[in-house]
Chains A and B, each alone.
Chain A
């Protein structure tokens, strides 16, 4: 079974630009969560999508947004990039159905975003 894939793996953008990152979950998984990982703050939850609906949201500004498509693939968008947005962005895939357990998330390799 293929794992979680994220594209692109590396990205360099300039302050003020916007960026879109993509995540394809494991086949059959309907929930996708996004996390930001930085040396200073560690891994922080951004949001979770299930069946094309945002189900949970972390404490990030509105510049961070996401969406999920009918095939469960998800994208996250960051507008008006700031230097502090430089981070590893990870997505995690899970079944998402009732009875699912917190630990049953599978992470992708991440997209390394550098903002200059």
Chain B
């Protein structure tokens, strides 16, 4: 079993829909949780990061962490065609660790 599991999709939704992306993990030492977006032929770019269990909102994006269930989510409201990309969850054990463990990524297409 991989340390981080993420449904690879692909996921196709109509413009304006609410998108839910999820990851589960098995390593209880993970404390820092990140979501990256990767466009085709580009490197990943950071979208959101969270530390504790709970919700964090940034514009149309909400990150949710449930450490008791070892489950994290990213919600995208009012999805736009420009949100079409691969979304990767990532985790680390320590604040200063650059050794991230990634999910395989979910490919999202938002249809106009």
Which A residues touch B6, using CB under 8 A? 42
The verdict on A114 contacting chain B, using a C-beta distance below 8 Å, is no
Interface positions, chain A 71-116, Cβ under 8 Å from B, are: 90, 92, 94, 96, 98-103, 105, 107-110
Q: Are A48 and B98 in contact (CB under 8 A)?
A: yes
The smallest C-beta distance from A43 to any residue of chain B, in angstroms, reads 4
Q: Are A101 and B88 in contact (CB under 8 A)?
A: no
| Size class of the contact patch on chain B | 20 to 34
Contact of B98 among A92, A98, A109 (CB under 8 A): A92
Q: Count contacts on A: residues with CB < 8 A to the other chain.
A: 27
The smallest C-beta distance from A114 to any residue of chain B, in angstroms, reads 14
Q: How many A-B residue pairs have CB under 8 A?
A: 69
Selecting from B9-17, B70-78, B99-107, the interface stretch reads B99-107
Which B residues touch A43, using CB under 8 A? 44, 88, 90, 100, 102, 105
Which B residues touch A110, using CB under 8 A? 42-43
Contact of A45 among B34, B49, B100 (CB under 8 A): B100
In the complex, A45→B46 CA distance in Å?
A: 17
The verdict on B96 contacting chain A, using a C-beta distance below 8 Å, is yes
The verdict on A27 contacting chain B, using a C-beta distance below 8 Å, is no
In the complex, A105→B41 CA distance in Å?
A: 18
In the complex, given contacts A31-B98, A35-B102, what are 6 additional A-B residue pairs having Cβ atoms less than 8 angstroms apart?
A42-B103, A56-B98, A94-B98, A96-B98, A105-B46, A110-B42
